[in-house]
Amino acid sequence: MSVSGSIRGFSFDGIPYNVAADANAALNPRVEIEPVPHSSGNMFKRTTVPANMEAIKLLLDQAEYDIIKAASEDLDDKAISLTRADGSSNKTQGTVMLGAYQTEDNSCEVVAMSSTGVWDNFSA
């Protein structure tokens, strides 16, 4: 039986960040399939895209936000890892795109983008 729930951890460039208690991460598929209709039926256009982890809500103070912002603006790929509720982890190399920093609860949603397109899975 698998364990599900909020993600337990997130790190970027070797620095762990606190995640919200209700944090979720959505792993996008690598292949997008789009029907292309024509007179003889449908053809399908398949596009390989980077697999991104979206909607990761981090809880950051201003100093932590400044650190992750500076690292995200650097052009070099960084190590990214995400730990699931069951203790397994996904790891990749890439960068993050930051959303707006919310002062009400000191949070920021991030999208973790893999430069390789692969999120390696390490079981607990």
Give the CATH number of domain 9-122.
2.40.30
Torsion of CA 48, 50, 56, 62, to 10 degrees: -150
The one-digit pLDDT tens for each residue of the chain (124 residues) are: 577 788 899 999 999 999 998 887 888 777 888 999 888 888 999 888 777 888 899 999 999 999 999 999 998 999 999 998 888 899 999 999 999 999 999 999 999 999 888 889 887 5
Give the predicted TM-score (pTM) of the model. 0.82
